[in-house]
Structure 1
């Protein structure tokens, strides 16, 4: 049977969806994910083969019958990694000219025809933009040590720092502090020190604290609100800097921690584009999202902020159908 395939693969899970040649749905498969940039080519090759072998077998499909496949994957951060990903699927029998491999954020650029931006704030963060000439630019997303500013990890880290300041008697955030204490079991600065040493480089537990910060902000905790506002400003900074690249006018500034003062002194940009927001923080945290929308209205008045109605998996399948039609 001739078919199309779309993949949405993150560090935790990998999803595959198939449609027939007439675009009727065949089905989907959920398996293990792979962070391609951190796990490397050999392990990535093994995991992707396992994922596709199981998915194809479930629906009795053969790779050589694939009319087009779009792989939206976490960790395709360079041309070399894109070529490695393509080679993995070529080895599995997919036709070379029928494979499209993109970063999972870059995928959303296909939602708009003209100039477009997309920024993701989930466990990590990143921004992509495509200008009128079709050139693609990237800002951020270089893991949670080098960047990922404004992400759930960043919010969680700032939240735990605030909790340490509360334990030290330096700030007042009773709502936030109670939530963090209950979630982590940390009650003293000594315990906080151990917690940080155990989890500082582990994205999941630190990123999970972002939900508690959002809840505390909704309940009126001023420190939590400030953390959310500051991290939203960092996401908008990714968008702003990508706009500068799209216009061929990079600012070459020292990386900023908080951008309110900077943006207050900048004239609005005339760039006309769609701005797609994705990721758990952008989509689920209303207060966070409203900060970005308000900044965009002031400084990017011709940019239309949107949230995709389809999942990344459905978008990947749609891109495969359209790109290889």
Structure 2
């Protein structure tokens, strides 16, 4: 099958840590298969800046075409599922960029949570929960109504995310050093990982002007390791994160009038995908609070959902 524009669509999953692009060939029946994939760095322009964000999306797209063995050219449709694009102004900025770049004849911009939902639920209805560098819950019911909770960013929210888990751990370390809280093995773990001689050097690390949120979020791995070793403080930090994520899901379920066993749940983000015990504990908390879903799907590449949404746009064009 020749790869010309009428047969191609692009799906973009632009996150706070990485950007993925999927290039798909679409048949007349609207069935598709992926022919190219690309990956690049973070593209949430609220945290990394507009120039860096657009550069990473372009790199991911170029890589997808290269993996398909063809030159980059305009496609029929693109859907950009972008972290930090929950407001109209941000979506319009991405739409202008797509138009000025001549990437596709038709462009659509949604949040990264919407692409997760499209990738991980059978009919595109249910709840998507992201817990990676940041956190967000998004849902849509059969009537087409949608709701979201979280997604307020690392200063106002991102509860249950890798960033907030690491930050909570450092706050517990500060309390321990001051004598305001119990001692914890997290102190030694963080000092060793960051090559610090004194716990107060965490201040310089955390407030460094070049410090990326994803760097801080990556330190959450130290909390999981400490919890596995039985550190009481680390376990408490993770229990709080589980409760925060449960509250995000509950808020969306309530607003969309889902009931127990009446919705599909799609999970993504490094915290939920790569920390199995944490994910199991989270599911147990949902059951304990009568929030158990009918189905659960772990989504490791939401660009597939973006492809589906791009094709939906072609169907209704």
Partner of 2:276: 286
CA distance, structure 1, for counterparts of residue 210 and residue 156 of structure 2:
13
- Within the candidate set 104, 124, 129, 2:112 is matched to 104
- Within the candidate set 200, 225, 231, 1:215 is matched to 225
The residue correspondences of 1:271-282 to structure 2 (distance < 5 A) are: 272-282=262-272
- Within the candidate set 70, 76, 83, 1:59 is matched to 70
Shift of residue 4 of structure 1? 1.9
Partner of 1:34: 43
The residue correspondences of 1:192-203 to structure 2 (distance < 5 A) are: 192-198=202-208, 202-203=212-213
Shift of residue 236 of structure 1? 0.8
Shift of residue 9 of structure 1? 2.0
Shift of residue 285 of structure 1? 1.7
CA distance, structure 2, for counterparts of residue 45 and residue 210 of structure 1:
28
Partner of 2:303: 313
Is the 1:159–1:209 contact (alpha carbons within 8 Å) kept by the matching residues of 2? Answer: no
Aligned residues: 302
- Greater mean alpha carbon deviation, residues 67-76 or residues 297-306: 297-306
Partner of 1:152: 162
CA distance, structure 1, for counterparts of residue 70 and residue 41 of structure 2:
18
Shift of residue 280 of structure 1? 0.6
Partner of 2:22: 17
Partner of 2:188: 178
Is the 2:16–2:214 contact (alpha carbons within 8 Å) kept by the matching residues of 1? Answer: no
Is the 1:163–1:180 contact (alpha carbons within 8 Å) kept by the matching residues of 2? Answer: no
SS in 2 for 1:220: coil
Shift of residue 202 of structure 1? 4.3
- Within the candidate set 177, 200, 204, 1:167 is matched to 177
Q: Cα gap change, 1:12/1:135 in structure 2, threshold over 3 Å: closer, same or farther?
A: same
* Structure 1 unaligned spans of 5+: 248-267
User: CA deviation digits over 1:100-144, x for unaligned, max 9?
Assistant: 221111212223326411111111111101123211111111210
SS in 2 for 1:307: strand
Partner of 1:251: none
User: CA deviation digits over 1:273-322, x for unaligned, max 9?
Assistant: 11212111112122322232112112234523523355222332344345
Shift of residue 43 of structure 1? 6.3
- Greater mean alpha carbon deviation, residues 39-48 or residues 176-185: 39-48
- Greater mean alpha carbon deviation, residues 192-201 or residues 173-182: 192-201
- Within the candidate set 72, 81, 93, 1:72 is matched to 81
Partner of 1:225: 235
Is the 2:16–2:134 contact (alpha carbons within 8 Å) kept by the matching residues of 1? Answer: no
- Greater mean alpha carbon deviation, residues 237-246 or residues 294-303: 294-303
Shift of residue 76 of structure 1? 1.0
Q: Cα gap change, 1:208/1:47 in structure 2, threshold over 3 Å: closer, same or farther?
A: closer
CA distance, structure 2, for counterparts of residue 27 and residue 77 of structure 1:
27
* Structure 2 unaligned spans of 5+: none
CA distance, structure 2, for counterparts of residue 314 and residue 322 of structure 1:
13
Q: Cα gap change, 1:45/1:116 in structure 2, threshold over 3 Å: closer, same or farther?
A: same
SS in 2 for 1:60: coil
- Give the CA RMSD over aligned residues: 3.0
User: CA deviation digits over 1:194-250, x for unaligned, max 9?
Assistant: 444437974233222210000110111111111100111011111111223223xxx
SS in 2 for 1:212: helix
Partner of 2:147: 137
SS in 2 for 1:303: coil
Superposition TM-score, scaled by structure 1 size: 0.80
